[in-house]
Each structure stands twice: as C-alpha cells, then as structure tokens.
Chain A
Amino acid sequence: KAGVTQTPRYLIKTRGQQVTLSCSPISGHRSVSWYQQTPGQGLQFLFEYFSETQRNKGNFPGRFSGRQFSNSRSEMNVSTLELGDSALYLCASSSDRGPSTDTQYFGPGTRLTVL
C-alpha cells in the first residue's frame, strides 16, 4: 500500500498570504489528523477529520482550518500567515476501525517557510 502523501513538500510564502496544504491518506483510512512541528513548541495537534467531519481540535487560532473530502483526502488552510507559522506540517492517517484511538501513520510533511 502506498503511504501517506503530502503536497507540496516545500512552500515559501510571505506574511499576510494564505496557504493550502494537501494530504492523501493511506487507502482505506478514514481518519486524517494534522500536526505542526516547530523547534520551539515541538509537535502539536491541530485537528482531526473523520468522515468529512472535524472530530478533534487543538489549541490553534481560527486562522488554521481544514476539511476532508469524501475520498478521505484532506486539506488544511492557514490564512493571514505570520512568521511564527513557519513549521513542518505533518499529516497522519489511521483506519479507525476501533478502538476509537488507532495507530496513526505519518506522511513526510510539508515544510512551510513564511518570510
């Protein structure tokens, strides 16, 4: 099976712009989660989508949003970019067959640099 794929792998934006990142989960996986990784804050949970519905949300401002499509692919959007949004954004998928917490498999990440 192909793993989790994320596009693009690298992105450079300027402050105030918005950005959309894409994640394709492992075939058959219905849950997609997003994480932000920075040197200062480490790995932090952004949100989780399951069957096109947001099931969990971390402590990030409303500028961070996401969605999931019927084929389980997911996108996350960051509006009005700030310098502090520079990070590695990781997507993870799980089959979610139960129990309600299942093993998550991570993609390679999208490296976002905000100038």
Chain B
Amino acid sequence: AQSVTQPDIHITVSEGASLELRCNYSYGATPYLFWYVQSPGQGLQLLLKYFSGDTLVQGIKGFEAEFKRSQSSFNLRKPSVHWSDAAEYFCAVAAKAAGNKLTFGGGTRVLVKP
C-alpha cells in the first residue's frame, strides 16, 4: 500500500523568503503525485500534479515541485512567499489503475511572518 510522509508539521517563513515543503512517498511504481493547499475552514485546492514527463512541474500561485524517483520525493517550492500563502499544504499520492483514491500526507502548516 502506498504511503506519504510530510516530515515538517509546521514551518514559519518570513514574507519574501523562499519556501520548500518536503514530501516522501512509498509506492512500488511511479505514482501520480499531487500538492493541495487548504486555507482555514476551506476545502482543498489543487496546486499542481505530476503524472509523467518533465520532473519539474509548475503550478498555480507561483509554486513548483520536483519529482525525484531516486529519493521517492516530490518537494514543493516557492521562491518568494506572500502573506496569503499561510495555509496547510498536503502532498498526496494515487496509484495508477487504482481509481481515484488519494493517500494524503499529514500536512504541513505554513506560517508567514511579516
């Protein structure tokens, strides 16, 4: 069974600084990978996804993620954080040919200091 680990529960960054959120997955083959963001009291918004092809994926709101098969990682990055990026971020994995069942990591809460 697949699993996802987000090692950092909380991260605090200053506005304008760079951000990197870590995600490691466990799965026997190349999975489908996703990053979602959740603002307080809201549902999940898709930031980006990786299915195949170029391992550097661009998403919305200036986010990007890099798939590294050798490290089983799919880390999310943003060069310059805005106060509105304060939220909880979830990495998720889906197994191919297994329907739309997402397995989520525990999430990383990002706080942005002025």
A: which residues have CB within 8 A of B?
4, 31, 33, 35, 42-45, 48, 50, 55-56, 58, 90, 92, 94, 96, 99-109
Query: With a CB–CB cut-off of 8 A, which chain B residues contact A102?
Result: 100
Q: Closest residue to A3 on the B side, CB-wise?
A: B43
Q: What B residues does A109 contact at CB under 8 A? A: 42-43
**CB<8 Å pairs between A and B, sample of 13:** A31-B100, A33-B101, A43-B104, A44-B104, A45-B103, A48-B100, A55-B99, A92-B44, A92-B102, A100-B96, A100-B99, A101-B95, A106-B44
Per the CB 8 Å criterion, the residue count for chain B at the interface is 26
Shortest A104–chain B CB gap in Å is 6
Contact pick for B100, options A44, A94, A108, CB 8 Å = A94
